Structure 1
Amino acid sequence: MVTPAPAPALPGISPGLQARLDLGLAAVEDLLTARVDHDDPFIAEANAHLLRAGGKRFRPLLTLLAAELGSGINDDVVAAAAGVELTHLASLYHDDVMDDALTRRGAPSANAKYDNSTAILVGDLLFGTASDIIADLGPEAVKIQSQTFIRLCSGQIRDDRACPPGQDPNAYYLGVLADKTGVLIATAARYGALLSGCSRETIATLIEYGERIGVAFQLADDLIDISSEMDVLGKAPGTDIREGKRTLPIIHALASQDPADARLQHLLRLSEPSEDQVAEALALLRPHPAMDRARAETEAVAAGAKDILAALPQGEVTAALAHLADRVVRRDG
């Protein structure tokens, strides 16, 4: 298994908080390692495939950090953090099948390494494992997990379909992201607050904060899919163009009235572009004003998440949460 990296250094936090986060993430990693294991060696290997590939463990970190607004990190918080991360990992197995992806985190995707059926079934198994962990945390935690899963799947379904006629593409897409990505990150923060005894007001604030940074996180991913090279991204750039997805940069480019954008708009409307056409579209889109507009909107969503934190007691934890909101939109991969 991957040796867990320490929690990322967060400006303004004490050595004590940093140490607690490091210990908490190590405990989460140990639990993840134990729960993806299986008596069948093949299932154990397939279960652990994406876990071994690494990852930032952003969601578990948020769960642990939110708990610091209450009584602190405990065994239930660690379990919830692992459950959220397994839910996230399970969704990646399914995403890669839907995207026909070849790589994930710089390694072969599960569907490429095994096959689509195996990837789907392993994703299902991990969803089940996550639910089994959450079931030990009480009925409210189970209800949250179920509601999260419903919204996550609803978002994925809507993401795979075009914006309905008569609806604003921007608003529709942001709603998709709130379900597809925002809800699980909101749940990560919610579990940390709930299981550490925070007030209902604090929990509600963290839910809203988490959903907003979740949307910002996915918006940043959409920009990275266009701007990054393969060695940075760990997967081929231009996935959204290949799939005909309408992310914010693409929405803005398609809305352009400039005749000079006709070629780019043609390429973005192709249902099955060739790799050469994807490369041409990327070359035209990367310097396009649509990218600057999408970046500004992404930063505005993150700024809105930071504004919500004003309702919480100010200190090193809220400062760290504000830094996380900045970090999700200022990354390269």
Structure 2
Amino acid sequence: MTLALPEVSAGLQDRLTDGLARVEALIEERIDHDDPFIAEANVHLLRAGGKRFRPMLTILAAELGNGVNDEVVIAAAAVELTHLASLYHDDVMDEAELRRGTPTANTAYGNSTAILVGDLLFGHASALVAELGAEAVRIQAETFIRLCTGQIRDDRQAPEGEDAGAYYLRVLEDKTGVLIATSARYGAMFSGCDDDVIETMRVYGERLGMAFQLADDLIDIESSEEELGKLPGMDLREGKRTLAVSHALASTDPHDARLQELLRSDLSGDADLAEALGLLRAHPALARAREETRAVGVQAQEALVGLPDSEAKTALLALATSVTHRVS
């Protein structure tokens, strides 16, 4: 699913396209390997496609400064490799069979190889960041710590007595928000922006990343297998308490008893999962979660208020709208 940026001029679109091509070429070059099997496994998910959202954001953020240069391209490649590496691990943890309509690496090569290839890609990302200096290395290390922290907490329910929705939003700040924040931050850093703009992009990126994940949560509920490129309802099957699920479980309406029973049960069976999806799609909890997703997107836009008007700022504002309007 491509994110639309209707406000982007032909010139800016050409610069984004050219920058992404440079990033793709650099990734392909760095993850190539003498061993044909390792070389093939390294590019398995890269070749499956994807939106390249994170490197695109790095390149777009660089427009706030002096534009794309070699350091911006290296930084963009590093964040995309970090993201790809995390997908190899996520698919093992989720026991997923499809990613972007392609068999996952764990399906194609087995869990052990998928985990090791993910580790290898993390290593390649770290090697790229090392070329950018000590500050970039520190940011990458802190990003990785928060990524892992978010993933660990995502596998656990909110502690008793804690608001489930608020807990989940904090999980998303780490699990998804931090890497997108780093993507935007690097673009500003390595294009010569001052510290205030760099911090603005960090805040914007974190809010944008949260909105991105919240929209993905809704898409997982609303979309078909053909639209997703994988089975819908995987979050329900894994027992994740996304916003829509948390709101449905908090309902006191007796008519929601069956949905709540399903959401608290093992949804490994296709019939129960299909029933849960049907009930949740018709529930007001979904509309409420959609409103909250768009509110987080607005928070991302509000972070840009202090930036002077420019085509890049207009595109960043439009990007937040595109992210949150991927859901109906």
Report the AA paired with residue 243 of structure 2.
Answer: L
Report the AA paired with residue 21 of structure 1.
Answer: L
Displacement, 1:332? 5.6
Q: Does 1:50 align with 2:38?
A: no
How far apart, in 1, do the equivalents of 2:252 and 2:264 lie?
15
Displacement, 1:8? 6.4
Alignment length (residue pairs)? 328
Aligned positions of 1:17-36 closer than 5 A: 17-36=12-31
Query: CA offsets, 1:254-304, max 9 Å, x none?
Result: 011111110000000013541211111001111110000000000000011
- Aligned equivalent of 1:321, options 316, 320, 327: 316
Contact persistence 1:233–1:332 (CA under 8 A)? no
Contact persistence 2:147–2:178 (CA under 8 A)? yes
Q: What RMSD over aligned residues (CA atoms) do the two structures have, in Å?
A: 1.4
Q: Does 1:177 align with 2:172?
A: yes
Displacement, 1:15? 2.6
- Aligned equivalent of 2:204, options 200, 209, 223: 209
Q: Does 1:330 align with 2:325?
A: yes
Q: SS state of the match for residue 221, structure 2?
A: helix
Q: Which runs of 5+ in 2 are unaligned?
A: none
Q: 1:8 to 1:175 in 2, by over 3 A?
A: closer
Displacement, 1:308? 1.1
Q: SS state of the match for residue 257, structure 1?
A: coil
Q: Runs ≥4 in structure 1, deviation > 4 angstroms?
A: none
Contact persistence 2:3–2:322 (CA under 8 A)? no
Q: 1:200 to 1:332 in 2, by over 3 A?
A: same
Name the structure 2 match of 1:267: 262
Displacement, 1:10? 2.7
Displacement, 1:12? 2.9
- Aligned equivalent of 2:145, options 120, 136, 150: 150
Contact persistence 2:3–2:319 (CA under 8 A)? no
Displacement, 1:16? 2.3
Report the AA paired with residue 297 of structure 2.
Answer: A
Q: SS state of the match for residue 252, structure 2?
A: coil
TM norm structure 1: 0.96
- Aligned equivalent of 2:183, options 184, 188, 194: 188
Q: Does 1:282 align with 2:277?
A: yes
- Aligned equivalent of 1:305, options 293, 300, 305: 300
Name the structure 2 match of 1:37: 32
Q: Which runs of 5+ in 1 are unaligned?
A: 1-6
Name the structure 1 match of 2:114: 119
Contact persistence 1:21–1:64 (CA under 8 A)? yes
Contact persistence 1:86–1:127 (CA under 8 A)? yes
